[in-house]
Structure 1
Amino acid sequence: MKIDTRLACTRDKDTIWTLYESALRAHIESIWGWDPVWQRDYFSKAYAAAASYIVELDTKLCGYIQLDIDDTGVYLRMLVLTPTVRSMGIGASLLQEILRCTHQAGRPLHLRVFRVNSAAKRFYEREGWVVEAEDEAFFTMTHPLNEFASMSGSTVALVPESFEVRMNV
């Protein structure tokens, strides 16, 4: 299986919205309720502010990644895969590659997961992530390798346009 990512473009926004809604709606409804106008606005703001990437399996869309990249770290905003490709090792491979790239650039990687999404939390814990903080809605997680990222002093550039994943799983 060949996995590729590419920087999303304007024409991808509706597709990513569909993936976002199908993956997160039930969780959001159970926590706050689903307000379609508010959700679409929130999604649009996040889409404009973050770097979004289409994930393809053998050239067919199978998900998306969204990263907030700044000078101090990287926040994995979204890692969403279609139900048909979950549990195939794709998410774990993508996560490992994102972690490798961010640490090579000397930046830690963080993420949040809904408290009600126990399957996602278990997935991240299996991949070595630990809870560093929590609130009523989220667990904020970090990876033990993050402590080495900030000490690396690396000057490898990490910019949205240059981040891509190409791998076989």
Structure 2
Amino acid sequence: MKITTRLACTTDQDTIWTLYESALRAHIESIWGWDRVWQRDDFNKAFAASASYIVELDTQVCGYIQLDIDDTDVHLRMLVLTPTVRSMGIGAALLKKILQRTHRSGRPLHLRVFRVNGEAKRFYEREGWVVEAADDAFFTMTHPLNEAAGLRRFTAALFPESFEVSIDV
């Protein structure tokens, strides 16, 4: 199987919205309630401001990634896979590549996961992530490699294209 990512374009936005709603609606409903208009507006703002990537398994869309990349760190906003490809090692392989690229650039990678999403939290913990902070809705997680990246702090250029990958799994 071949996993690839590519930068999303505006024609991918509706596909990504469908993936977002399918994966996150139940969690959001349980925390704040689901206001479709507000959620779509917030989603559109994040899509415009972040680097979004389509994830494909053998050319079939199976998820998306969304990153906020700046001069000091990278925030993994979303790593969403369709239920049919979960537990196949795809998320772990993608997360490893993202972490390697941020680490090489001297930037730490951060992420947040809903407190109510125990499955996602367990996934990140299996991959070596630990909770560094928590609030009413989220766990903020870090990885041990982040400490080394933070100490190095050289600023190798990172561009959205830096996170396009092709992985055999």
Gaps of 5+ in 1: none
Q: Where does residue 121 of structure 1 map in the other structure?
A: 121
Q: Return the letter of the residue paired with 1:4.
A: T
| Paired residues for 1:27-38 under 5 Å | 27-38=27-38
Per-residue CA shift, 1:34-81, capped at 9, x if unaligned?
A: 000100000000000000000011111110000000001000000000
Distance 1:93 1:162 in 2: 16
Distance 2:118 2:56 in 1: 26
Q: Where does residue 19 of structure 1 map in the other structure?
A: 19
Distance 2:43 2:153 in 1: 34
Root-mean-square deviation over aligned CA pairs:
0.8
Distance 2:125 2:41 in 1: 31
Is 1:57 aligned to residue 57 of structure 2? Answer: yes
Distance 2:82 2:51 in 1: 19
How far has the Cα of 1:150 moved from its partner?
1.9
Is 1:104 aligned to residue 132 of structure 2? Answer: no
Q: Return the letter of the residue paired with 1:24.
A: L
How far has the Cα of 1:154 moved from its partner?
3.5
Q: Return the letter of the residue paired with 1:92.
A: A
Q: Return the letter of the residue paired with 2:31.
A: I
How far has the Cα of 1:157 moved from its partner?
1.6
How far has the Cα of 1:155 moved from its partner?
4.0
**Number of residue equivalences:** 169
Is 1:92 aligned to residue 101 of structure 2? Answer: no
3-state SS of 1:145 partner: helix
TM-score by length of 1: 0.98
Distance 2:150 2:143 in 1: 12
Per-residue CA shift, 1:126-150, capped at 9, x if unaligned?
A: 0000000000000000001100012
Q: Return the letter of the residue paired with 1:18.
A: T
Q: Percent identity?
A: 80
3-state SS of 1:150 partner: helix
Per-residue CA shift, 1:78-102, capped at 9, x if unaligned?
A: 0000110000000000000000000
List, as ranges, runs of 4+ consecutive aligned residues in structure 1 with deviation greater than 3 Å: none
3-state SS of 1:78 partner: strand
Per-residue CA shift, 1:92-129, capped at 9, x if unaligned?
A: 00000000000011100000000000000000000000
Q: Where does residue 137 of structure 2 map in the other structure?
A: 137
Distance 2:108 2:153 in 1: 12
Distance 1:154 1:98 in 2: 17
Q: Where does residue 163 of structure 1 map in the other structure?
A: 163
